[in-house]
Amino acid sequence: MLENLSVHLDTALRLLISGQEFSEIPDVATYAEIKDQWSVGCRDSLEATIRDGDYGPQHTEIVDYPKNAIAVRPLTRFSARDRLIYDSLVFDLASDIDKCRNRSVYSYRWNHKAGEPLFWSHSWSLMRHRALSTLSGNRRLLMATLDVSSFYEHVDVELLSEDLYMMAKNEAHVQKVSNFLRRFQNINHAWGLPQGSDASGILANAYLASVDQFLTQQRLPFVRYSDDIMIFDESWNSLRDVLVSVNRIFRARKLSMAGHKTSILGHEEALNRLRSAEEASIDYGVKVGDPKARLSARTYFYDTCASEVISSRRLKFSLNRLRRLGDDYAVSWCLDNIRYIADAAKEIFAYFAACEHRLPEIESKLTAFMCSSESKSYPYVEQRILRYFVRLGVSNELMKESAWKILDDRNREEFPREFAARYLGRCSSVADAQLLRHKFEGEAGGGMRRALMIALYESGYLSKRYRRDVECSIPNLRWLCSYLEKNPKIPVS
């Protein structure tokens, strides 16, 4: 068991670090000290923790991450220790779970040869291609679409545990996963599966296996990605009856169907939903360097933003294509509307990074936003802004003032405070560095102490004596202290 666990811990670490580029809430140092110290004691320590049974989550932050301008979803922010333990335990079960996966299910598939989950975007594209192929093969087909309201939040851990015992060979690991999830629910204002990890997606696949089996028995073509399901038939009444039956299965699983996302579409409407000829044309033009692609991408972006309700999917698509073209057409609009499109923060700041010739305007408007009273309501945007400035090495007094306000406010979420500390460490005076040390000694939370320790190091105010004192006094920072002893250049994803 321990041999497999070691392999799964290695996989969990590699995916955690490589996934920082796509993470909704990236780590302040991309877990650099964990990677550096992994083979000299860190992995062995985690294995011993799991073996001894003390593997429940120790520090969890539930973040209200935006789905659109108003709605949010509860994203789980684990410590590195907790995330690696959770992922590795689930990865140990993933192969058995995937063997029970219906071939029409595309979400969080397991690469049995590589021993890791497949990257989501490829599987998502395969599902849509399969749906299009099904529709294209029969012009009489209709398509029913449905998904679950707040799916991950309403997964019943006890029911899931019973499912896993049926699917997986390693009962001891099933027990560990179940215990971890129970403790996660007992110590947080959260329930169901932690959101933000591929491991949860693997478990979620198992939870809807009964729906897959029912649809297979009905001999209806269908595809599923997590709780997003498409079902095909020539009869509207037949599809309606199937939806009613699926809803009964959902209720038995303590789930409810999302009414506003449930519909039966005609053939052409279904094709249009799945295939945007305009998007396909733009995408192809960008790939082959068509001189008309720039105008097409700009027009698509303009039309998207002119809609009464802006589609997050369309916005992300257009920003990614403008980024690949190196076109700064959308920079000013994004800066003026950043608080309303925070769900596209990853795409926005990747786009800004490709338009660094507009840095003076970007710096000015982002600084103005940070100095406004509104920024506090958007901690995920604050974090992205501070991370952007850290990466570029941009420093100005107004941003420093804003960073100090964020760091001083212990009522704020930790993740923007961590990047505020790192930003201040990068541009601190001697007096600033002395104050950062004072903040470090006054913090109780391990995450903030870690960020402030990094800030002290980058400020040049971390002596060997003080680093050794910290290593002896605060066990949770020993890996970081050993890493900093090597005088590294700490990365920013």
Question: How far is 167 from 94, CA to CA, in rounded Å?
Answer: 10
Q: Hey, what's the torsion of the CAs at 205, 206, 210, 215, to 10 degrees?
A: 30
Which helix (DSSP H) or strand (DSSP E) does residue 14 occupy? helix 2-18
β-bridge mates for residue 229, sequence order: 146, 224
Cα 355 to Cα 324, 362, 451: the distances in Å are 10, 9, 29
**Burial environment of residue 107 by CB neighbours within 10 A (0 to 12, 13 to 18, 19 or more):** buried
In sequence order, what E strands does 2-96 have? 60-66, 72-78
Q: Which pLDDT does position 429 carry in this prediction?
A: 93
Residues 6+ apart with CB under 8 A from 114: none
In this predicted structure, the answer to whether residue 79 has a pLDDT above a threshold of 80 is yes
Q: Supply φ then ψ for residue 229, to 5 degrees.
A: -120, 140
Q: What is the pLDDT of residues 273-332, one digit of tens each?
A: 887 778 888 988 999 899 999 999 999 999 999 998 899 999 999 999 999 999 999 999
In this predicted structure, the answer to whether residue 450 has a pLDDT above a threshold of 60 is yes
Residue type, 233: D
β-bridge mates for residue 228, sequence order: 225
Task: Give the pLDDT band (50/70/90) at residue 260.
Answer: confident
Mean pLDDT over residues 426-447, rounded? 94
Q: What is the pLDDT of residues 22-75, one digit of tens each?
A: 888 999 999 999 999 999 999 999 999 998 888 889 888 888 888 888 888 889
**pTM for the whole thing?**
0.91
- HEC states along 122-166? HHHHHHHHHHHHHHHCCCCCEEEEECECCCHHHCCHHHHHHHHHH
**Unique residue bearing structure tokens 């505020």:** 420
Q: Are 5 and 47 within 8 A, CB to CB?
A: yes
**Unique residue bearing structure tokens 């309303």:** 340
Radius of gyration of the chain (CA): 24
| Two tokens, residue 137 | 């093969």
Residue type, 343: D
Within 354-445, residue ranges assigned H as helices are 359-371, 379-392, 397-408, 414-426, 430-442
Sign of CA dihedral 170, 174, 177, 183: negative
In this predicted structure, the answer to whether residue 1 has a pLDDT above a threshold of 60 is no
In the three-class reduction of DSSP (H, G, I as helix; E, B as strand; rest coil), residue 373 is classed as coil
Q: Hey, what's the torsion of the CAs at 70, 73, 77, 78, to 10 degrees?
A: 170
Question: How far is 488 from 482, CA to CA, in rounded Å?
Answer: 11
Q: Which pLDDT does position 308 carry in this prediction?
A: 87
- Please choose, from the candidates 212, 190, 196, 224, the residue with its C-alpha nearest in 3D space to the C-alpha of residue 78: 196
Q: Which pLDDT does position 90 carry in this prediction?
A: 94
Question: How far is 73 from 149, CA to CA, in rounded Å?
Answer: 11
Question: How far is 264 from 267, CA to CA, in rounded Å?
Answer: 10
User: Which residue has better confidence, 215 or 108?
Assistant: 215
Q: Are 245 and 235 within 8 A, CB to CB?
A: no
Residue type, 480: L
In the three-class reduction of DSSP (H, G, I as helix; E, B as strand; rest coil), residue 62 is classed as strand
In this predicted structure, the answer to whether residue 164 has a pLDDT above a threshold of 60 is yes
Question: How far is 300 from 109, CA to CA, in rounded Å?
Answer: 33
Q: What is the pLDDT of residues 169-214, one digit of tens each?
A: 888 889 999 999 999 988 777 789 999 888 999 999 999 999 999 9
Mean pLDDT of the chain: 93
Residue type, 262: T
Q: Supply φ then ψ for residue 42, to 5 degrees.
A: -65, -50
Mean pLDDT over residues 425-445, rounded? 94
In this predicted structure, the answer to whether residue 2 has a pLDDT above a threshold of 80 is no
- HEC states along 207-242? HCHHHHHHHHHCCCCEEEECCEEEEEECCHHHHHHH
Q: Supply φ then ψ for residue 490, to 5 degrees.
A: -75, 130
Mean pLDDT over residues 468-480, rounded? 95
Residues 6+ apart with CB under 8 A from 432: 400, 424, 459
How do 116-117 and 72-78 pair as beta strands?
unpaired
| Two tokens, residue 347 | 């795409």
Cα 218 to Cα 104, 149, 213, 245: the distances in Å are 14, 24, 9, 11
In sequence order, what E strands does 173-305 have? 222-225, 228-233, 263-265
Residues 6+ apart with CB under 8 A from 278: 296, 300
In this predicted structure, the answer to whether residue 449 has a pLDDT above a threshold of 90 is yes
